[in-house]
Structure 1
Amino acid sequence: MIRVLIADDHPVVRQGLRTFLGVQEDIEVVGEATDGTDAVTLAESLEPDVVLLDLNMPGVDGQAALGELRARGVGARVLVLTSMSERALVPPAVRASAAGYLYKDVDPDALVRAIRAVNDGHVLFAPEAADAMLPPAAGGGAGRDPGLAALTEREREVLVQIALGRSNREIARALVVSEKTIKTHVSNILMKLGLADRTQAALHAVRNGLVEG
């Protein structure tokens, strides 16, 4: 079972999520938080697998709660679920290790798939949120980035592994090569795609359909 904590200050939203998620055979809602402070406290005590976190909450908001969860070493994967569409809110959430970023108009079935994907170690962002983390040249166009064609088959494999949240050591183990070789592949991927870091690489892979949600 995937243990889920819902953190949202609107009772109707919490009830709707609890009702819908409650009928899923592999998901259990273990608690509800009404603000950021509550979210951190319950995440520590209940040890959920996934926290559905709204950003706009009274007192300690979701952004501050996300940072506090990471500061305290809480292991739950955090999936931001918010109605706030400001692009500037996305990068801080990603830097605080949010595993996903979706908006509340998401299709319910897509939300369930997102919870499962995030629980499995994937990163999953709404296209608009992914675009907010990418340089204009990488995120500005529709469809797949033609720059992906410059990657070798092995570099594409490494890019997918990065998008799945794997470390260099884990990727090296999976592909049966040295960690030094993986570091070289990562550097080449970032250079060829014009990206700054692994987070942008992961988002780029998601945005261009290399990893399914």
Structure 2
Amino acid sequence: MTTTIIADDHEIVRRGIRGILEGEKLCTVVAEAADGLSAAQLVEKHKPDVLILDLNMPRLHGIEVLRQARASSPATRVIVLSMHNDEPYVIESLRAGASAYILKGSESQEIVHALKEVLSGRRYLSATLSEWAINALVAKPADDADPLQSLTQRERMVVQLAAEGHTNAEIAEKLFISPRTAETHRTNLLRKLGLQTQTDLVRFAIRKGLIQP
């Protein structure tokens, strides 16, 4: 049986998705996550066949969860379930390795259809998204100069938490590191990104879709 992890910060959404999947007897839900960091850790632990992932997740943005999931469990296929229908989110998700992108306003059976498609090795997009346009844009090489690519996995986690306004002590607690280490990560990532102030960091995070404006 196909194994699945559901990651969404709303319990009612997770329950609804679980009900749909188990009702169709398509897969077994092995775990649920209410935040991004837990989602990434659960994928690394269970290495499920499928991860159903929301983008707006606390503690770690869905795009970063997606990148980490693809790195720790390459065989896991990721279905993004999001309220965002604008191209930057879709493009970034597909470039990060998502197999499908479904809008939360879709019919419930679309999740079932998307699951069947990705398990067959195909990409799936909600009908309201322009597939030909997305494919054309995804085919374009990503910007090699993207400064995010210069950061380590831990530094990318710190970027989001710092941009959300967390102190070094709070970041340390969330990531199970020392405050001194959190401070070092913050200093290094600011240097790598060419940023000077907290305002610069927040603007960068918004521009990259890591946090909401």
TM interval, short-chain normalised: 0.5 to 0.7
Q: SS of 1:80's equivalent?
A: strand
Q: Percent identity?
A: 35
Return the alpha-carbon distance in structure 2 between the equivalents of residues 19 and 73 of structure 1: 25
Return the alpha-carbon distance in structure 2 between the equivalents of residues 41 and 135 of structure 1: 33
Shift of 1:8: 0.3
Q: What are the within-5 Å matches in structure 2 for residues 3-42 of structure 1? A: 3-42=3-42
Could you tell me whether the CA contact under 8 Å between 1:101 and 1:129 is conserved in 2? no
Scaled by the length of structure 1, the TM-score of the pair is 0.60
Q: SS of 2:75's equivalent?
A: coil
Return the alpha-carbon distance in structure 2 between the equivalents of residues 94 and 85 of structure 1: 13
Instruction: Give a deviation string over 1:22-77, Cα, whole Å, max 9, x none.
Output: 21223211110111111111111112111000001112011111111223344210
Could you tell me whether the CA contact under 8 Å between 1:99 and 1:124 is conserved in 2? yes
> What is the total number of aligned residue pairs between the two structures?
140
Could you tell me whether the CA contact under 8 Å between 1:91 and 1:132 is conserved in 2? no
Distance 1:15 1:86, change over 3 A: same
Q: Which residue of 1 aligns with 2:116?
A: 116
Instruction: Give a deviation string over 1:132-179, Cα, whole Å, max 9, x none.
Output: 52459xxxxxxxxxxxxxxxxxxxxxxxxxxxxxxxxxxxxxxxxxxx
Instruction: Give a deviation string over 1:64-121, Cα, whole Å, max 9, x none.
Output: 1111122334421001011122221111111111101111122112211211211121
Q: Which residue of 2 aligns with 1:130?
A: 131
Query: Unpaired segments of 5 or more residues in structure 1?
Result: 137-194, 199-213
Distance 1:196 1:63, change over 3 A: closer
Q: Which residue of 1 aligns with 2:100?
A: 100
Shift of 1:130: 2.5
Q: Which residue of 2 aligns with 1:190?
A: none
Return the alpha-carbon distance in structure 2 between the equivalents of residues 98 and 129 of structure 1: 16
2:9 is aligned with what amino acid?
A: D
Return the alpha-carbon distance in structure 2 between the equivalents of residues 44 and 80 of structure 1: 18
Scaled by the length of structure 2, the TM-score of the pair is 0.60
Instruction: Give a deviation string over 1:162-199, Cα, whole Å, max 9, x none.
Output: xxxxxxxxxxxxxxxxxxxxxxxxxxxxxxxxx9469x
2:15 is aligned with what amino acid?
A: Q
1:130 is aligned with what amino acid?
A: E
Pick which of 7-16 and 23-32 moved more.
23-32
1:83 is aligned with what amino acid?
A: M
Distance 1:11 1:129, change over 3 A: farther
Q: Which residue of 1 aligns with 2:87?
A: 87
Query: Unpaired segments of 5 or more residues in structure 2?
Result: 142-213
Q: Which residue of 2 aligns with 1:52?
A: 52
